Amino acid sequence: MLVNVPHPGRVAKARPKNIVLQRLERYLHDEQDKPIELLCSLWDDQKAALTYREIRDAIVADDFTEALYDEFAQDYSIFIADRFASVWSKALSAGAQAQPTIGRLSSFHFETQNPGVANWINSRSAQFVTRCSEQQKEAIRALLANKVVESHTVDELARLIRPCVGLTAAQSAATVKYYDSVLSALKSEHPRMKAETARKKALTAASRYAEKSHRYRAMTIAQTELATAYNQGADEGIRQAQAEGLLGPMLKVWRTSGDDAVCDMCAALDGTEIGMDDSFAYAGKLLFPEQRLLPPAHPRCACAVEYIESPVFRYA
């Protein structure tokens, strides 16, 4: 389970969790496998489509063109339309239905074809494609940096780039570093081993290392995207109910588990009540526009938003 994993050495303090948070955690646990597999399958397809010879020729010609990066962007666009949009849609619906306020409305039905839902999915799709395409471009450029090129043969680079397709620049750099360390150890421990044999063994080890990094990245994206859509669905559900005259003014409340597994930033937000159109106040790099309107606050954040009646409306 990816959510609320205690920091090493910490003992999580037990505290009854808010029902909305419980439902989000259960949803992440039950639903994250599908997007993880979808993402890993996408990257496998991209690697298979990029042949060793194409990579080698591009390195020799110093010509990784924008056309290649455009192909990656197109891959992500098709992936979202054909596979991932349905993941968001399901999470949006689940997020709306998880709100106790909405659960009490027997006549309400969350509409996934509502313009608000469609607009959010379209906007999120564009952000996802742009972000992933740029990260892919940065990763390849990092592998082609002078210090990397100068310390490896063309063949080594070509064989290292392919398993790194789909990784971030930092993960790709870590893969190269791991290759270098394995190769160095083989040369030191087996001085009579043929150089080509050592390189093959090191490349095999690096490929396995890259696969683990792919899995970790897929987990991070899956949890973050599911949590984002889930909380967005809660917001959209409340707004649909308000539009039908079933709810009045509402406040949104940031919910965390309240234990030591929660980061300091999210712990400080726990219980914060603000207006529906207001932003939560916290620092940090924005992952997307208007991020501070709802959780998550950061990758793998498993915080939830709960909607309650405004006191003005409640006691009027």
pLDDT of the chain, 316 residues: tens digit per residue: 344 433 333 334 445 678 999 999 999 999 999 999 999 999 999 999 988 888 888 888 877 777 888 899 999 999 999 999 999 999 999 999 999 999 999 999 999 999 999 999 999 999 999 999 999 999 998 998 888 988 999 999 999 999 999 999 999 999 999 999 999 999 999 999 999 999 999 999 999 999 999 999 999 999 999 999 999 999 999 999 999 999 999 999 999 976 667 889 999 999 999 999 999 998 887 777 788 999 999 999 999 999 999 876 544 4
Write down how long the chain is. 316
Q: Which residues contact 144 (CB under 8 A, 6 or more apart)?
A: 59, 64, 157
In this prediction the pTM is 0.89
Report helix, strand or coil for 95: helix
- Establish how many alpha carbons lie within 13 A of residue 124's alpha carbon, considering only the half-sphere containing its beta carbon: 23
Query: Is the Cβ–Cβ distance between 267 and 256 less than 8 Å?
Result: yes
Burial letters for 10-35: b for 16+ Cβ neighbours within 10 Å, e otherwise?
eeeeeeebbebbebbbebbeebbebb
Tokens at residue 288, please? Answer: 């997307």
CA distances from 1 to 25, 113, 223, 232, 297 (A): 9, 31, 10, 22, 19
